[in-house]
Amino acid sequence: MRINTYLRMALKYIDIGANLTDSMYQGCYGGSTKHPADLDIVLERAWQNGLQKIIITSGCVKDVDESLELAAKDERLYTTVGAHPTRCGEFLSDPAKYYNDLRSRIKANSEKVIAVGECGLDYDRLHFCEKETQLEYFEKQLTLAEEFQLPLFLHMRNAHEDFMKILERNRDKIEACGGGVVHSFTGTLEEAKSLLDFGGLYIGLNGCSLKTKENLEVVQQLPNERIMLETDCPWCGIRPTHAGHQHVTTKFPTVKKKEKWTKDALIDGRSEPCQISQVLEVIASIKQQPKEQLAEIYYQNTLDLFFKRSK
């Protein structure tokens, strides 16, 4: 047990996508408080399990403000700035103002803002934002990335064809900003190859990327030099029903009910950054490659895209 713990702690991780401003980390679920706020405990558990940096995901102006406030408290925390496809309707009342609100936050926080996003297309949830609005304001945000030369944190769900058309039409902007990562990838091998053939793009993998047998077959064939790790917490944990679960070796103490919260255990159904080790374990197992070697590659990939300007 001591050897396994040492190896887990010796590996270095960067979680490229963590929704740390989610109310679950304040103990609130569906508007009801179930336990004390525990984000500080969640973060300490992350640092103890090899996390070196965490990128907080922001999907609207409100998220950005909360993320910046949180990131200011710890040098290991960073954030994205952008409008998630399902939140692009927030542009509509005053498009220029909303764009400038995003822009001003990037300009004023250059040490903490390391990507434009989460932006992209999500045709699985058009009930939150219609297609035409998503298309317009995804493309608009690429101008932000070009202006500030920030990489992109991209979201794509059931919209590959339109997603690629926008990328192709804006190739000059994407090259100027240094590329990006398509996070929480769950697409086909053909879609993955299309993204990688575009150039400058990485693929982010989390528990949802490892959910089915088909997902695992895709991940197995992805080139290691284009992979990054994430949890997308508090979502996208690796569940017992997932195909990837059989490859998980690291187990964390867990309580089944939120009301049974304790500082020494995870809550079943709420993922945390520390569980990034489980994502690595699944990938290493299906690729039949040493997790230590893969951890180093994925860590360097992340530094190369997001932190190459850091001193």
Binding residue positions for a divalent metal cation: 118, 155, 183, 232
Is residue 117 a contact partner of residue 155, using CB atoms and an 8 Å limit? yes
Residues 6+ apart with CB under 8 A from 228: 14, 16, 181, 183, 202, 203, 204, 205, 298, 301, 302, 305
CA-CA distances (angstroms) from residue 77 to 16, 19, 73, 106, 182? 10, 12, 8, 15, 20
Q: Which two tokens stand for residue 143?
A: 């101008």
Length of the chain: 311
Region of 181 please: left (phi>0), alpha (psi -120 to 50) or beta: beta
Q: Which two tokens stand for residue 170?
A: 């804006």
Annotated binding site: 118, 155, 183, 232
Residues 6+ apart with CB under 8 A from 191: 160
Which of 105, 96, 30 shows the shortest CA–CA distance to 62? 105
Coil, strand or helix at 265: coil
How far, in Å, CA of 65 to CA of 79, rounded? 10
Give, as one character, the DSSP assignment of residue 271: -
Is residue 227 a contact partner of residue 203, using CB atoms and an 8 Å limit? yes
HSE toward the beta carbon, residue 106, CA cutoff 13 A: 26
